[in-house]
Amino acid sequence: MKHRLSFGYFTLLAENIVEVTIDEGIELSLEMVEECDVFFKAHIFGSFGMLINRINDYTYSYEAQLSIGSYEGLKAIAFVYYSDRSKVIVEELNLTRAYDKWNSCSFSGLELEWQQAFQWLKHELIGNEQPASQA
């Protein structure tokens, strides 16, 4: 199911995987990150993964870089990029957030790796669904 936020689309690919597609030319702000959090709290229950589909060119404000991905229950992030610039932005974001030790992986959309990104997320989420007594 596809949901429209003020800056892009969030598509529920599975009950615990959300594809995020930000509109062309956006600078993702702290307020937009907070809008994401409201969406996740309303639509996702438990552990989840994000598939960030960077088909459009957009950037992150410094404040957004420091807070994006700090969502309760977020277990894995797959980035799918389609240009060298987009790949660099993802690498810089990962460096900025290195202390968080994100469980993330990047995939080339130009090499048709979207499906691999989706499969990777499913695998990562299965590995995180252990009963509380085993955690």
Q: What is the pLDDT of residues 66-120, one digit of tens each?
A: 888 888 899 999 999 999 999 999 999 888 888 888 899 999 999 889 999 999 9
Place of tokens 């085993």: 134
Q: What is the dihedral of CA 86, 128, 19, 88, to 10 degrees?
A: 0
Neighbours of 37 (CB within 10 A): 15
pTM, 2 dp: 0.88
Mean pLDDT for 46-61 is 94
pLDDT of residue 128: 54
Q: Is the dihedral of CA 66, 72, 75, 78 positive or negative?
A: negative
Stated as kind and residue range, the H or E segment containing 127 is helix 114-127
pLDDT of residue 132: 39
pLDDT of residue 66: 87
pLDDT of residue 99: 81
